[in-house]
Structure 1
Amino acid sequence: MPPSDPAHPPNAPPGLIAPSSGHSPFARIALPTAFPASSLLRGQGAHGEHTSSPYVTDQPRSALNERFGGAEYVPPHLRQHHHHASSSSSPAGGTGARARAGTGGSEQGQAQGGEPRGQTLEEMYSAPENTLEIEVRDPRTQEFGRKMYTDYEIICRTNIPAFRVRYSSVRRRYSDFEAFRDILERESQRVNIPPLPGKVFSGRFTDEVIEQRREGLERFLQIVAGHPLLQTGSKVLCAFLQDPSWNAANY
């Protein structure tokens, strides 16, 4: 007589799933007496016909691995022999995966059939080829005799060769922006120069008005400085952004 299985006591009622150790977090569920084992593998349609389950397949693992881009399936008891056979068939100049890893991951990232590859660490963390950051900040209201005006600091960070330096800081007032825009329109007939924020005749030195003008001037500079035709064809663009001694009379 075969020994009794503690997970399935002989006196347990039919259709009852018993826990193996009594510590299972799942509740025991009473199943119907006539519960065909085949229903676990295939679903049943509305009229009792069997339909294929999306979770069950009769394909061998090697076929699935090949379909999803994996290597050929090797049984566990043959893996050591398969590893020695594949390593011995590698060329003498470099041992398989170790030789490919030494190329900086370029071969590893290349997929078969010309499919796109992932980025390498060098590509992920290196500086972009072309960067340009324009920031207008730190508005200051100045007194010039009986008149007052507000000027702004322009910060430019870039590695584009068209600009003279990578980092610059200059101060410009609103009238400088007006002269700069007029020069751009004369220089560049093919580029539509965006408008400046409008003039303010009352309350122009309040914090709210100054901040609105600062935002408008920053958007204006970001548009014109990022235009490739102005970067290569304008003589005044880089000077206005980076030359502290810029003078509109020279253009």
Structure 2
Amino acid sequence: MRPAAPVHDAASVWDIATPSRHGRLPGVSMAGFRARTTDLVDLGVVPHPAVTVAVDLGDEPFLVTDFHGRQQSGSVVVRLASGGVRVRGQDIECLQMRLSPPLAHAVLGTCAESGTTVVPLDALWGGDAARTQERLRAAGSWDERFAIAEAALVRRYEAGRAVEPEVAFVWGQMVTSLGGARVERLAAEVGWSRKRLWSRFRAQIGLSPKRTAQLVRFDHAAHRLAAGHSAARVAAEIGYVDQSHLHRDVMAFAGVTPMALAVAPWLAVDDVAWAAP
């Protein structure tokens, strides 16, 4: 386990653990979170271009509210979405897994096709969700927990249904280009019509190609803002038409201004929890 470094105000709230080795599955990152305070934690989490699995390991279940106000408690899956979520709870302890959408399609089945942002884990994994949760609770270390979680993902991946190669290719190009690749060009590269790509991609990834590209670009912009770059610089360097375009995207995805996003506590945690090993 790599201990967390101090990060703005977030350091006073969380102990964060990360795996000591690379995992076997590409497209998955893990982190363990334990609240340092017994006070109520009420934290907004901005959207990210990944599907998040949060396994509740605390004594009291935390509550996750999506941007429509719908709520779920305990272990949940937060699917690829256009808006963030809010997490509330006391004595929170959980293991989070961030899955690339192509991997999530295999290990979570119908999650990408659900119209709901936050889904109970047991609705997708059945009894295996409770069994995995109990094994994680009983584990003696975070590294043991990461190994248990990875084994569960590998089992589901091997039994699951992979996305079509064309969809996986388009997803990869969107990530590599930071959301700048044109959908028409990508459709031509895989030999599909734009309509076919739009339909297959949305069914298997969970968002349309255009919205996914916007989310990838927003995520890059959010981390640049959090690193201290000005909104004008970020807009110019990432490919927004102008600063007002960046402002509209940030408001659409995070519900706050670029200035407020730059100091969002969860982005400070991000660089510790999801840094490369």
Band the TM-score falls in, shorter-chain normalisation:
under 0.3
Q: Normalising to structure 1: TM-score of the pair? A: 0.25
Pick the structure with greater CA Rg: 1
Please state which structure has a larger fraction of its residues in helix. Answer: 2
